[in-house]
A and B are shown apart, each in its own frame.
Chain A
Amino acid sequence: QSALTQPASVSGSPGQSITISCTGTSSDVGGYNYVSWYQQHPGKAPKLMIYDVTNRPSGVSNRFSGSKSGNTASLTISGLQAEDEADYYCSSYRSSSTLRVFGGGTKLTVL
């Protein structure tokens, strides 16, 4: 069973907004509101940025927001800052023995 589909890379200038997509199927992204997003800087553990499609954990900047339409979820980062440069991964619950699945990851470059 393949991972969720994310673009390999996105880029934007400081102050701009970018959106990262995460496409799955009706058995995962489209079927449940259990999509989450993670930020990972090089050599560091992932950090939860968005959970249950749209919710931000305490301490995460409100520049990060999540949404979903059909089988595709999206992470939007507004007012890009240099420290946002990192890898971003989506994840979803999946109704199969696999249970949880990740996207392939998107490298965000802040120009």
Chain B
Amino acid sequence: EVQLVESGGGLVQPGGSLRLSCAASGFTFSSYAMSWVRQAPGKGLEWVSGISGSGGSTYYADSVKGRFTISRDNSKNTLFLQMNSLRAEDTAVYYCAKDPFSTPMSSFDSWGQGTLVTVSS
């Protein structure tokens, strides 16, 4: 059974940094692309960033480009999102999601339970 467990969320001041982690199990982690998707309180889903199975290709939404960095450690089956220069509008539940292929194109076939990031002074 696929399991994705996010951690690292919390309260951070504007301009601060936070690193999210997503521990994966139940599948061959390195064979699949992964993404981060966020949902602001009471709002819809927004794709944030994606990474290929090998980690060699990364992709970002315009809203986070230059501030967020996605990475993965295939030896530890873990996905990361380093978030810098955080803004109030980054406040959201952050989900990690698995793609069905090694490149991020098709869909998100498994999701974690999410971790809440709150940016506020």
Give me the interface of A with B, judged by CB distance under 8 Å: 1, 3, 32, 34, 36, 38, 40, 45-48, 51-52, 57, 89, 91, 93, 97-105
Q: Would you mind naming 6 contact pairs between A and B with Cβ atoms under 8 Å apart? A: A3-B44, A36-B106, A52-B107, A91-B45, A93-B106, A98-B61
Partner of B104, one of A45, A47, A99: A99
Q: Counting chain B CB atoms within 10 Å of each CB, which of A38, A51, A99 scores highest?
A: A99
Given known A45-B113, A51-B100, contact A38–B108 (CB-CB < 8 A): yes
Q: Are B107 and A91 in contact (CB under 8 A)?
A: yes
Partner of A52, one of B35, B59, B106, B110: B106
Contact code string B28-58 (vs A, CB < 8 Å = 1, else 0) = 0000000101000000111100100000000
Count A-B pairs with CB separation below 8 Å. 70
Minimum CB distance partner of A49 in chain B: B107
Give me the interface of B with A, judged by CB distance under 8 Å: 35, 37, 44-47, 50, 59-62, 65, 95, 100, 104-114
- Considering the chains assembled together, what is the distance between the CA atoms of A93 and B65 in angstroms? 18
The 3 A-B pairs with the shortest beta carbon distances in the complex, nearest first, are A36-B107, A51-B107, A100-B47
- Considering the chains assembled together, what is the distance between the CA atoms of A98 and B35 in angstroms? 12
Residues of A within 8 A of B65 (CB): 97
- Considering the chains assembled together, what is the distance between the CA atoms of A16 and B107 in angstroms? 28
Residues of A within 8 A of B107 (CB): 34, 36, 48, 51-52, 91
Q: Are A103 and B44 in contact (CB under 8 A)?
A: yes
Q: Are B62 and A46 in contact (CB under 8 A)?
A: no
Q: Are A105 and B105 in contact (CB under 8 A)?
A: no
- Considering the chains assembled together, what is the distance between the CA atoms of A52 and B109 in angstroms? 11
- Considering the chains assembled together, what is the distance between the CA atoms of A51 and B97 in angstroms? 14
Partner of A34, one of B45, B106, B110, B113: B106
* Beyond A36-B106, A91-B45, 9 additional pairs, beta carbon < 8 A: A34-B106, A36-B107, A45-B95, A45-B113, A48-B108, A51-B109, A98-B47, A100-B59, A102-B45
Q: Are A46 and B45 in contact (CB under 8 A)?
A: yes
